Amino acid sequence: MRYSRLFGKTLRQKPHNVEIRSHELLLRGGFIFPVAAGIYDFLPLGFRVLEKIDRIIKEELAKKGVQHLIMPFVHPASLWRETGRFEKMKRILAVFDAAHGGKYLLAPTHEETVTDLARNFILSYRDLPVIVNQNQWKYRNEIRVTGGLLRTREFLMQDAYSFDKDEEGLAESFKVVSEAYHAIFKRMDFETTVVKADSGAIGGTGSEEFMVLSPSGEDSIIACDSCTYKANIEKAESIFPTFPQDKEQKPMKDVLGKGLIGVEPLAKYLNISVYQTTKTLIYQVDNNVVAVCIRGDFNVNEVKLANILGCSDLTLATEETIKKLTGAEVGYAGPLNLPNNIKVYWDYSTNDRINFEAGANRTDYHTININFGSDIKSPEKFYDFRSVKAGEICSECRKGKLAEKKAIELGHVFKLGTVYSEAMNATFLDKHGKRKPIVMGCYGIGITRLLAAAVEQHHDDRGIIWPKEISSYNVHLISLPGGEEKAEKLYISLKENNVEVLWDDRDESAGVKFSDADLIGIPVRLVISAKTGDKVEYKIRSEKQFHIIEIEEAIRKIKS
């Protein structure tokens, strides 16, 4: 490709409202162009990267016996009503009424569609196991989009689905796809780490995420410094610190503490430890309201809480709702004297405490010396909805300390089990003639997100450094004064040798051409000018030094 004919050019200045490096470089390099919030054009350079990622994924999955197909981008709402996800995921669904009748939605994922396929084509145990895959566009009506391609509304996704007769078969399929994922990410030069993860709206019995560490990542992972334990912050568990308790219970009483809402100033004012304080949060849960209590030095992990409650919508209650329920201003809610219809959920961290504090449900008042049994009914069950903190003890090896790191999710694998097959009556006849639900797995990679993740991991202060397997071109050829004719001959020769080459044939200065080459980040740069004579300047993008070598040698090095 001649640069003078390339559609989409580089930008000199950093675009407005761009926060992370990958977003800036992909825009400035002419790889993407914003259409609307979370929706992008992929210009020729960006499209070529997408195509190479798409090819690598399909090749590695095919090596494992995965069959490729394509499913529609538009789904009838009736399929989603079968599983209950039409209501559960309505916040992110883009739904429309068709002119010919019927309600449809733009696909955010394809579990319903593929399960419908399975129930029509998988009839006997002889049809199992099977794994199918598609690389397909999706749309999620996300409220918040950020980080360029890291969180968008429209995105290209690889999603594979496995079908087995039992859990042992699912475990094998899970292993097969996970091995393919390791090969895929290795070819793209990603250093990944696999962590335990939350299954979220997809559901199922367990899931893992393939992550890459990055300061720009929107995910946090927890890792032990003594064993192999790693988990997403939404799934992580730990042994949290406990403290000595009072030996005797004291009389419960209300204490005036005007304007004291934060646990630190409150504990200081009451002359108690922060761990004796209690945060009571009022949540709107679908169509109900619940109260949640956690030790004052911890925070609620809302993903864990939503999973416990089994809800689709979880938000903090409005100021008006809190006042109506507690009779107090925001900040003074407590578990005592709430209306009988309000269920209170207690975190594990609140167990085994003596003489603890909580809001008094009276503005400016706090209740101290509360005790289970004597002052408030002991909970039937305690739950784990606490966010793990760095420095806590690992719950697996019980000796290592946990560290928190920022990361980008590249892929997510799920053991769905029979969640969808039971809901949609996707069954098969086993060898004894008994009808059983198909056991499913789901495996996805965010293809468009990989562009951003690759740039986050591979760039310097001048621009992108693309891994060779996914770079838009193999060679960036630059011709300077006196080298135009030789450059054209080399351009033709490279193409005849099946080398993908971008030739900067523009009438621009050397500085502009070198700057654009560094920004675009193609792995090899070749420069021909009057100074190079019959040779060529050969430079690897990731290296500082260049070498003057014979043209034939340059072609051999590139091909090898």
pLDDT per residue over 268-311, tens digit each? 999 999 999 999 999 999 889 999 999 999 999 998 999 899 88
**Mean pLDDT of the 488-496 span:** 95
Residue with the two structure tokens 């408030």: 376
Instruction: Count the helices and strands in the chain (H runs, E runs).
Output: 14, 31
The set of residues, in sequence order, having a beta carbon less than 8 Å from that of 163 and lying 6+ positions away, is 118, 122, 128, 129, 130, 131, 438, 439, 440
Q: What contacts 521, CB < 8 A, 6 or more positions away?
A: 25, 29, 458, 459, 463, 464, 465, 466, 471, 541
Q: Which tens digit of pLDDT belongs to each residue from 47-56?
A: 999 999 999 9
Confidence band (pLDDT; 50, 70, 90) for 248?
A: very high
Q: Which long-range contacts (CB under 8 A, 24 or more apart) does 171-176 make?
A: 172/129, 173/129, 173/131, 173/441, 174/413, 174/415, 174/441, 176/64, 176/65, 176/66, 176/131
Percentage, residues of the chain above pLDDT 70: 98
pLDDT exceeds 60 at position 200:
no
User: 201 pLDDT exceeds 60?
Assistant: no
Strands (E) located in 140-287: 154-164, 193-197, 206-213, 219-224, 230-232, 238-239, 253-256, 278-285
Residue 119 near residue 424, CB atoms below 8 Å: yes
Q: What is the pLDDT of residues 9-40, one digit of tens each?
A: 899 888 988 989 999 999 999 999 999 999 99
Q: Does residue 187 register a pLDDT over 90?
A: yes
Q: What is the pLDDT of residues 160-180, one digit of tens each?
A: 999 999 999 999 999 999 999
DSSP 428-456: EE-TTS-EEEPEEEEEEEEHHHHHHHHHH
Mean pLDDT of 451-476: 97
Tens of pLDDT, residues 346-380: 999 999 999 999 999 999 999 999 999 999 999 99
Predicted confidence (pLDDT) at residue 556 exceeds the cutoff of 70 = yes
pLDDT of residue 198: 65
Asked if residue 312 has pLDDT above 80, the reply is: no
Categorize the per-residue pLDDT at 560 as very low, low, confident or very high, splitting at 50, 70 and 90. Answer: confident
Assign 3-state DSSP to the chain and report helix, strand, coil percentages, each to 5.
Answer: 30, 30, 40
Report H helices in 331-416: none
Is pLDDT at 205 greater than 80 in this prediction? no
CA distance 194 to 211: 6
pLDDT-derived band at 144 (thresholds 50, 70, 90) equals confident
Residue 143 has pLDDT above 90, yes or no: no
**Confidence (pLDDT) at 300:** 96
> Smallest Cα–Cα separation from 248: which of 354, 350, 351?
354
Instruction: Report the DSSP beta bridge partners of residue 344.
Output: 291
- Omega cis (within 30) before 244: no
Does 204 score more than 60 pLDDT? no
- For residue 308, the SS3 value is helix
Q: What is the mean pLDDT of the chain?
A: 94
Least confident of 73-82, 206-215, 267-276, 438-447: 206-215
SS3 347: strand
Q: Domains, the chain, ranges and CATH?
A: 16-70+123-236+404-456 (3.30.930.10), 253-383 (3.90.960.10), 475-559 (3.40.50.800)
Q: Is the Cβ–Cβ distance between 248 and 488 less than 8 Å?
A: no
Who's near 506: CB < 8 A, 6+ residues apart?
3, 4, 513
Q: Which two tokens stand for residue 434?
A: 């008994």
Strand partners of residue 447: none
Q: Which residue has the higher pLDDT, 385 or 143?
A: 385
Model pLDDT for residues 66-91, shown as the tens digit of each residue: 999 999 999 999 999 999 999 888 88
Span 133-140, average pLDDT: 97
Global pTM? 0.86
pLDDT one-digit tens code per residue, 500-538: 999 999 999 999 999 999 999 999 999 999 999 999 999
Read off the amino acid at residue 184: I
Give 199's pLDDT tier (boundaries 50, 70, 90).
low
* Residue recorded with tokens 């029509």: 120
